[in-house]
Amino acid sequence: MSFAIHGLAVSSGIAIGRAHLISNATLEVAQYQLRERDIPAEIDRLDAAFTVVRAEVDTLRAEAAMPGTPAEIEAFVDLHALILADPLLAEEPKALIRERRCNAEWALVQQMNLLVAQFDEIDDAYLRERRQDIVQVVERVVKALMGKTRKPVRRGKDENLIVVAHDLSPADTIQFKTLRIGGFVTDLGGATSHTAIVARSLGIPAVVGMHHARPLIQDDDLLLLDGGRGVLIVDPDERILAEYRIRQAAMELERSRLKLLKSATTATLDGVPISLQANIELPQDVEAAKVSGADGVGLFRTEFLFMNRDELPDEDEQFEAYRTVTRAMGGRPVTIRTLDIGADKTARALRGIDRVAPNPALGLRAIRYCLAEPQIFLAQLRAILRASHSGRVRILIPMLAHVQEMEQTLALIGQAKDQLRERRIRFDEGIEVGGMIEIPAAALALGPFLKHLQFLSLGTNDLIQYTLAIDRTDEAVAHLYDPLHPAVLQLIAQTIQSGTRAGLSVSVCGEMAGDPRFTRLLVGLGLRNFSMPPNQLLAIKQQILTADDSVLAAAVRRLLRLEDPRRIEEALRRINEN
């Protein structure tokens, strides 16, 4: 039966493919005690469920062997077959049924919890992650016990895999860069969470905050994901599929049309030049930045280099990564942001980050963590400085609020430079240091930052989070996340104005910079530097090429005087229509 589920649209595009469920380690099943005489029948019931799932997995294996099926699917299926055959899962629960008179589902889940706990102890990160597969297999058996078996599917050639999860961390999502995933949906998550940001950077459709998608969908269900509208259609009929295939083709056509703008100089109709740069998470993203024609890398989120691993990347490894990007950009500026770990971005290799902080977005995050761990920070600073010898590198400090944080950081940069001089390693002596303005306190008391820094970058994602007191990862308050709130607009306007007057370059590298709805507003506010996911760059360029700066400046001045949200929306609509 076909049905639709709605959530927050976080990354546009259309994907049609089969569901791949990612499990969380808790499975809710009925728990009851059997009568003595029912025990043999319960054991038969468990055996029968295993037989059903083994047959399912055999069918899956045959389908996975078809040409065109992504290799990842074959690997998942093989592993699931192995787990199913393991007596620890197929036989041990029978002891619980016999000795404790547990029903089959309950016995199976208890055994699963035991195995998952053992996997949690394993040092090897890859093996530890395999606990997910155990949970998935158990889920299949539980469904078979409840009489829900998988319909045989005919997997199409090159069919997409759409990940369905209760929640995905940014560290989980970044791994999709090496897997071929058509899109994903999650029950939790906010629109500017880093999970959503990574989806946009991957260029795959994603919908978060769906609440109940995970329990309603079964592995291999046919899914149609419309990331732009925030809709997931389960088991779509032929008519809907045909309609969406037409929409997919239209989007493809629009993308090819935008590509024609790549070599055009970015300036407004009245000749104001604008710099469009790219946000990247991993060194390999630099290719997409180049393809988009970016004027540089405006934000390299280096924390992603630290995720999904047990050991920290040392100075040399980081140096290689930064130099790869710097060389690839061939003289265009590369803005390397120092480690912004914490809040939703965790890394088990970093001490103190994997612990559950009472309020992580307000906790030991970004520059606060780096100043608490100066050896980790110094290694990163030395690596960035060393890369600066290969091109035009700038250092960007995240989450500044206090003048002392800037002073301590500048002192540590001085110390890192001294250490390199002692080692006779060359670096750019005049390297520019900038600060992210993403905490309202910094935007409101900008003076000292203007004096000691060479450039500013507005992190609107966090600026909005901290101004409006809305956790950017929490779908329950996502509707309150408002870039057009007058308080947010005032902070952005003041920062651009004060920074520019003081002779600093000011950019926006939050998601607002990559959203065409806000391009003209930002130009009208005086913004001349934008940094965004590479695949948004040409759509933003199109907005700029058709805008007149002098007209925008006057219209935006009027908009800034408004306080009623409806009137602000209306004024923006008029600005965008003209």
What does 301 bind: ligand PEP, Mg ion, none (CB cut-off 5 to 8 Å by kind)? ligand PEP
293 binds, among Mg ion, ligand PEP, none (CB under 5 to 8 A by kind): none
Q: What is the 3-state secondary structure (H, E, C) of 83-123?
A: HHHCHHHHCHHHHHHHHHCECHHHHHHHHHHHHHHHHHCCC
Residue placing its CB nearer to ligand PEP in the complex, 145 or 509: 509
Residue 11 as a binder of ligand PEP (CB under 6 A): the answer is: no
Query: Collapsing DSSP states into helix, strand and coil, what is residue 17?
Result: strand
Give the residue with the Cβ less far from ligand PEP, 150 or 365: 365
Of 160 and 473, nearer to ligand PEP (C-beta) is 473
Find the catalytic residue in 80, 194, 370, 485: 194
Instruction: Assess contact for 321 and 379: CB atoms under 8 A.
Output: no
Q: What is the CA radius of gyration of the chain?
A: 26
Instruction: Find, among 491, 509, 402, 496, the residue nearest to 449 by Cα.
Output: 402
| Least gap, CB of 170 to ligand PEP (angstroms) | 9
Query: Least distance in Å: CB of 524 to Mg ion?
Result: 24
**Is 102 considered catalytic here?**
no
User: Which residues lie near Mg ion (CB under 5 A)?
Assistant: 438, 459, 462
- Tell me if residue 194 is catalytic: yes
Q: Which of residues 480-519 bind ligand PEP (CB under 6 A)?
A: 509-510
C-beta of 182 vs 298, nearer to ligand PEP: 298
Q: What is the rounded CA–CA span in Å between residue 519 and residue 544? A: 7
**Residue found under tokens 């500048």:** 410
438 makes contact with ligand PEP (CB under 6 A): yes
For ligand PEP, which residue of 459, 526, 533, 534 counts as binding (CB under 6 A)?
A: 459
How far apart CA 139 and CA 131 sit, in angstroms, is 12
C-beta closer to ligand PEP: residue 103 or 335: 335
Using CB under 6 A as the binding rule, the residues of this chain from 182 to 241 that contact ligand PEP are 197
Residues 500, 506 contacting (CB under 8 angstroms): yes
- Using CB under 6 A as the binding rule, whether residue 281 contacts ligand PEP is answered as no
Q: How far is the CB of 458 from ligand PEP (least distance, A)?
A: 7
| Residues 21, 137 contacting (CB under 8 angstroms) | no
Helices (H) and strands (E) in the chain, counts: 24, 16
Nearer to ligand PEP, 20 or 301 (CB): 301
User: Which of 56, 295, 340, 515 touches ligand PEP by CB under 6 A?
Assistant: 340
Q: Which stretch binds ligand PEP (CB under 6 A): 421-429, 456-464, 532-540, 551-559?
A: 456-464
Q: At CB < 8 A and 24+ separation, what contacts does 365-369 make?
A: 365/340, 365/341, 365/399, 366/338, 366/339, 366/340, 366/341, 366/342, 366/398, 366/399, 367/338, 367/397, 367/398, 367/399, 367/400, 367/405, 367/409, 368/342, 368/399, 368/405, 369/339, 369/341, 369/342
DSSP 33: B
CB 141 within 8 A of CB 53: yes
Does the protein bind ligand PEP through residue 549 (CB under 6 A)?
A: no
Task: Identify the three-state secondary structure at position 9.
Answer: strand
Q: Check binding of 171 to ligand PEP (CB under 6 A).
A: no
Binder to ligand PEP among 301, 323, 332, 365 (CB under 6 A)? 301
Interface pick for ligand PEP out of 285, 462, 471, 515 (rule CB under 6 A): 462
Distance CA 199, CA 172 (A): 11
423, 447 Cβ separation under 8 angstroms:
no
CB of 508 to ligand PEP, least distance (A): 8
Nearer to Mg ion by C-beta: 195 or 266?
195
Q: Annotated catalytic sites, by residue? A: 194, 509
Residues making contact with ligand PEP (CB under 6 A) = 197, 299, 301, 340, 438, 459-462, 509-510
